Amino acid sequence: MDEPKVQAFRPPVISLLTDFGTRDAFVGIMKGVILSINPAVALVDLSHDVPPQDITAGALLLRSAAGFFPPGTIHVAVVDPGVGSARRALLVETHTAFFVGPDNGLLSLAAPADTVVRIVHLTNAEYFLTARSHTFHGRDVFAPVAAHVSLGKAPEQFGPSLTAMERLTLPKVEYHAAGLTGSVIYIDHFGNVITNITAADLQPFPKESLLVSMDDMQIQGVVASYAAVEVGAPAVLINSWGMLEIAVRNGSAAQRFGVLPGHPVHLTLT
Amino acid sequence: MDEPKVQAFRPPVISLLTDFGTRDAFVGIMKGVILSINPAVALVDLSHDVPPQDITAGALLLRSAAGFFPPGTIHVAVVDPGVGSARRALLVETHTAFFVGPDNGLLSLAAPADTVVRIVHLTNAEYFLTARSHTFHGRDVFAPVAAHVSLGKAPEQFGPSLTAMERLTLPKVEYHAAGLTGSVIYIDHFGNVITNITAADLQPFPKESLLVSMDDMQIQGVVASYAAVEVGAPAVLINSWGMLEIAVRNGSAAQRFGVLPGHPVHLTLT
Amino acid sequence: MDEPKVQAFRPPVISLLTDFGTRDAFVGIMKGVILSINPAVALVDLSHDVPPQDITAGALLLRSAAGFFPPGTIHVAVVDPGVGSARRALLVETHTAFFVGPDNGLLSLAAPADTVVRIVHLTNAEYFLTARSHTFHGRDVFAPVAAHVSLGKAPEQFGPSLTAMERLTLPKVEYHAAGLTGSVIYIDHFGNVITNITAADLQPFPKESLLVSMDDMQIQGVVASYAAVEVGAPAVLINSWGMLEIAVRNGSAAQRFGVLPGHPVHLTLT
């Protein structure tokens, strides 16, 4: 079979993350706006099923994904309960990427302060759609700005620079003599329960001697993969985000243990 | 970061709107057919979660989106309960776009009569897939025709011209001495309740003195955005479709008020 | 309207089929990895809502789609309950396509033995992501390998050849004097009930004289399309997969008849 040997053109990538769902054409409309300005972008959906108005879930997903995209990727994120209010619209440039979205913390986990080159307050209406609504800045502000960024327009042209943006603070892990206490931050599609405890938090401890407990559930040892336990059995592992996760092989841990984000998780050394 | 400065090529855009869902590969198959004929198109999903066989919902979504795409975009729409019957397959050319789909009203709201350049009855089997099914014209008729249109094939080549197509009639707004009565036409992903009352219908009235009622729910005044009311409070606004919408900030108005498309909505001047 | 007349470049196509859902950015991350290696591919989603860990459903969907893609398409499929275990990772080359995924039967229906040119065991870590997880080979192994294949890398470079791979066996149709007995293999988005009985199985029989029964449901005759029966009535037809399907026009046959995959379906000649 013939395979192309030469790359004619490296299209810029624009990723999209929203809580718009995929039923109503909102996301398709944003893509139409982008392609009307720059027909040669590669568009990638991160997720449009962020729980409505759940800024933290959106911020975690954006952080989980951004590092795997080509340098210069433009990530548009819209979970925006304050649309139409005084909340600011932002373009954030980091060492490796651009982020476009509302100033409500959504962009903050993917763009930690030490990676930020510039934060621009989007005020230059020249780059917005003309017939602007008060309810859909994804279409009217964020999509056209992202498209213009993908054409190489300099960030300064979109508005004045800011010294800071809204930042989310995730719950912190607490360290005790006997171990540590973290909490559930996200439940994924499979019902896997993801905590705020990182691989680095576990580094000091031998993996087999850790006891993970959540209410009256107790699991001994951290394993390498789901396949290390029997079908239907619970497993604790470091997941693809680099975080401690409680799973049930081929099942839903969230359902089995009845937990939601915010639920405490204890690690003790046995 | 390096950004491309030169556009090597402007790929034609094909959008897709169906009630096929995203579970069964039906949509992916249509894209495979399109890319087999024209590998250089940009494919955009509008929605594949139109409620099964709901032609009106599909037509409203198509209308809400088409105006935001580049000129010459080819919109393929398949909500097609009559597939395999005598219903005709159409290619509709307007001043700004092409529409491909069944002749059941689905294309009619996005292609009002005064924008239509040509309506073609798709009869030339040369542009269909060879092994044609009676149940999946999205794959066998509409996708290949759209791909051939994207290659610049003239509309006349696909079949004879028609003088008219099936047109949906949305419920009409009724004007009284005391105000007007419209109805719910769509519920979106957030549970926002969209009516057939337009911004133009409201033009004559001062926005603060309008009382919107639906059963025993009453809301005074039309606001600019969701953020104008408290979290959990209802709001009436003109939405991104340019239609009157009843929302609940960070909640679902459809659930709160228990309404479905067809439900009457009254506006009175107070 | 201007239409492009010249194809500057034929981008390779990579399709994606997973049970990852579309909520968690897992699929977007795979696309980021692919575009980081080859920015000029066309990415197509087949489905990401394969029921979790349902290898058979994934294999059926992949088979239903692969034939409609351009020659040389690379299909990445990840339904992978054994991720992190000793199950092998594969690149399968057939006469018309490439398949990348776990060696658990998922690729086997789309790549029947008589079409296979080469089966490669993916062992060359040079083509994997460096920071490899034990839970997300879609990101760390399958996506980067597919991207390198799309750049024209020879299959032999990814690892040693194998003589065979895991193959699924679907339930077989049984032939009696009075007719035949098959079974339900898939329920689609519309609730259509798809069986393992093929168009070829029906060839010997006159279509009107076939009686299809499933528990106490009985339908006489095989029709050409859904539109051949009244709205709400059941219909038996050959669907777009070329398989016998039991449908309810504008309704859900699966709900009406309460059946799941595995349920027996009888055909008798009347």
Note the pLDDT tens digit of each residue in A208-248.
889 999 998 999 999 988 889 999 999 999 999 999 999 99
C-chain residues near A70 (CB < 8 A): 32, 35-36, 39
Chain C residues bordering chain A (beta-carbon distance below 8 Å): 8-12, 20-29, 31-33, 35-36, 38-40, 43, 52-53, 71-72, 81-85, 87, 133-136, 139-140, 149-152
CB contact at 8 A, A78 and A17:
yes
How far apart CA B82 and CA B210 sit, in angstroms, is: 43
Do the chains contact at A40 and B13, CB–CB below 8 Å? Answer: no
Dihedral of the alpha carbons of A101, A103, A108, A114, in degrees to the nearest 10: 110
Residue A10 confidence (pLDDT): 80
The per-residue pLDDT for range A83-104, each reduced to its tens digit, is 888 899 999 999 999 999 999 9
Q: Which residue of B has its CA nearest to A86?
A: B227
Tens of pLDDT, residue by residue over A39-76, are: 999 999 999 999 999 999 999 999 999 999 999 999 99
List, for residues A10-35, the tens digit of each pLDDT value. Answer: 889 999 999 999 999 999 999 999 99
Task: Tell me how long chain B is.
Answer: 270
Q: Which residue has the tokens 């991104």?
A: B240
Which pLDDT belongs to residue B9? 63
Answer for the pair A217, A257: CB distance below 8 angstroms, yes or no: yes
Report ipTM (2 d.p.).
Answer: 0.93
* Chain A residues with beta carbon closer than 8 angstroms to that of C29: 46, 64-65, 68
Q: Mean pLDDT score of chain A, rounded to an integer?
A: 93
Is the per-residue pLDDT at A207 higher than 60? yes
Positions in chain C short of pLDDT 70: 1-9, 132
Distance CA B16, CA B142 (A): 10
Q: Which residues have C-beta within 8 Å of that of residue B145, sequence separation ≥ 6?
A: B89, B91, B100, B122, B127, B128, B158
Cβ atoms of A192 and A246 within 8 Å: the answer is yes
Q: Do C53 and A22 touch (CB under 8 A)?
A: no
Q: Is the pLDDT of residue A4 over 50?
A: no
Instruction: Report the relative pairing of strands C193-198 and C210-214 from DSSP bridges.
Output: unpaired
Which structure tokens are listed for A220? 């001994």
Ranges of residues in chain B with a pLDDT under 70 are 1-9, 132
Measured between CA atoms, the residue of chain A closest to residue B229 is: A85
Distance, in Å, from the CA atom of B148 to the CA atom of B142, rounded to the nearest integer, reads: 10
Interface test with A, best of C7, C27, C29, C153 (most A CBs within 10 A): C29
* Partner residue opposite B36 with nearest CB, options C48, C62, C70: C70
Q: Which residues of A touch B (CB under 8 A)?
A: 8-12, 20-29, 31-33, 35-36, 38-40, 43, 52-53, 71-72, 81-85, 87, 133-136, 139-140, 149-152
Handedness of CA A114, A116, A118, A123 (dihedral sign): negative
How many residues are present in chain A? 270
Residues 6+ apart with CB under 8 A from C65: B25, B28, B29, B32, C15, C17, C46, C75, C110
User: Could A28 and B47 be called an inter-chain contact, meaning their C-beta atoms sit closer than 8 Å?
Assistant: yes
Question: What is the structure's pLDDT at C183?
Answer: 96
C58 near C106, Cβ under 8 Å?
yes
**pTM of the full structure:** 0.94
Which residues 6+ apart lie within 8 Å of B100 measured at CB?
Answer: B74, B75, B76, B77, B90, B91, B92, B122, B142, B145, B146, B149
Q: Do B189 and A23 touch (CB under 8 A)?
A: yes
| Residue B165: predicted pLDDT | 98
d(CA A98, CA C202): 58
**From CA A92, how far away is CA A128, in angstroms rounded?**
17
Confidence of residue A7 (pLDDT cuts 50, 70, 90): very low
Instruction: Please report the pLDDT score of residue C256 as a whole number.
Output: 95
Question: Residue A205: what pLDDT?
Answer: 84
Higher pLDDT, residue A203 or A24: A24
Confirm if A84 and B227 have CB atoms less than 8 A apart: yes
Identity of the residue in B21, B22, B25 whose CB atom sits nearest the CB atom of C64:
B25
Rounded to the nearest angstrom, the minimum Cα separation between B74 and chain A is 12
Q: What percent of chain A has pLDDT over 90?
A: 84
Measured CA to CA, the distance from residue B9 to residue A265 in angstroms comes to: 53
Chain B residues lying within 8 Å of A26, measured CB to CB:
189, 240
Given pLDDT bands bounded at 50, 70 and 90, which one contains residue A155? very high
Min Cα–Cα distance to chain A from C232, Å: 25
Contacting residues of B for C227, CB less than 8 Å apart:
81-85, 87
Res B83: pLDDT: 84
